[in-house]
Amino acid sequence: AQSVTQPDIHITVSEGASLELRCNYSYGATPYLFWYVQSPGQGLQLLLKYFSGDTLVQGIKGFEAEFKRSQSSFNLRKPSVHWSDAAEYFCAYDSWGKLQFGAGTQVVVTP
Amino acid sequence: GAVVSQHPSWVICKSGTSVKIECRSLDFQATTMFWYRQFPKQSLMLMATSNEGSKATYEQGVEKDKFLINHASLTLSTLTVTSAHPEDSSFYICSARESYEQYFGPGTRLTVT
C-alpha cells in the first residue's frame, strides 16, 4: 500500500545546530512530495515540494530537501535552526490529487 | 497569493446542535477543496473531497449524513457538523487545490459540550 513514513516522532535540537527530518515513501511511480510545517493551533504552511527535475529542492525559511529514489526518501534539512523553527513538520505525497500525510515530527528547539 | 481562510477559528456548541464551518479561497478559484480532521498530537486525516457543483466524496468511515459538505461556488466550501457530540470535538482544517498544490486554512477548533 502507498504510504509515507516519518520515523522520528520527536526531535530536540539546539538553536544554531543543523536539523534533518526523515521521510520515506512507498509508492510505485515518482511521487509528488511535500513538506509542511504546522505551528500550534495553526494550519499548515508549505515549506517545499518536489515534482520532478533537480532532486535537491530549496524551500522557504532556509529549508531544503533531497529526493533520493534509491532510498525512497525525501529528507528535510536546515543548516542552522532558529527558535522559531519549533513546530510540527509533516511530509506528504500526492496520491491522485489527495495528500497522504506522515505522522509528523515534533521539533523542539533548545537555547 | 493563495490564501485560504476559515471561519470561525474556534467554536463551542452544545451537544445535539449543528455547527457550520466556512472555508474560502481568497485570491484564487478552487474547483476542489478538502476537509481534514486533526486530533491532538496526530496527523491530518482526510475526511472528504469537495468539488464545486457536485457532491462531496467522503473517505471510508466518515459519516456523510453527519458531516455535510457544500461547495456552492469556486471560492467557498462549507462543512456542517450535524447533531454534534463531544466526540466530534476536534481541529478541522480545510485546504483548497490550485494546480498540484493544496493551500491550507488556519483551522477551526470545535468543542462540543
Condensed to tens digits (0 to 9), the pLDDT of residues B66-98 reads 999 999 889 999 999 999 999 999 999 999 998
pLDDT at A1: 65
Question: pLDDT tens, A41-91?
Answer: 888 999 999 988 889 999 999 999 999 999 999 999 999 999 999 999 999
How many DSSP H helices and E strands does chain B contain? Answer: 0, 11
pLDDT at B72: 83
Q: Does B111 touch chain A if contact means CB atoms closer than 8 Å? A: no
pLDDT at A46: 93
CB A109 within 8 A of CB A14: yes
Edge-to-edge strands, sheet with B19-25: B4-7, B19-25, B76-81, B67-73
| Low-confidence stretches of chain B (pLDDT beneath 50) | none
Q: How far apart are CA B19 and CA B11, in angstroms?
A: 8
Is B104 close to A90, i.e. CB distance below 8 A?
no
Cβ contacts of B44 on chain A, cutoff 8 Å: 44, 90, 99, 101
Q: How far apart are CA B83 and CA B60, in angstroms?
A: 20
- What's the mean pLDDT in A16-42? 90
CB B23 within 8 A of CB B79: yes
- What's the mean pLDDT in A5-15? 96
Strands A19-21 and A44-50: unpaired
- Counted across chains A and B, CB pairs separated by less than 8 A come out at 47
Q: Which of A51, A90, A99 to mutate to test the interface with B (most CBs of B within 10 A)?
A: A99
pLDDT at B63: 94
CB atoms within 10 A of CB B1: 7
**Nearest CA to CA, how far is B110 from chain A (Å)?**
12
pLDDT at A94: 87
How many DSSP H helices and E strands does chain A contain? Answer: 0, 12
Is A42 close to B106, i.e. CB distance below 8 A?
yes
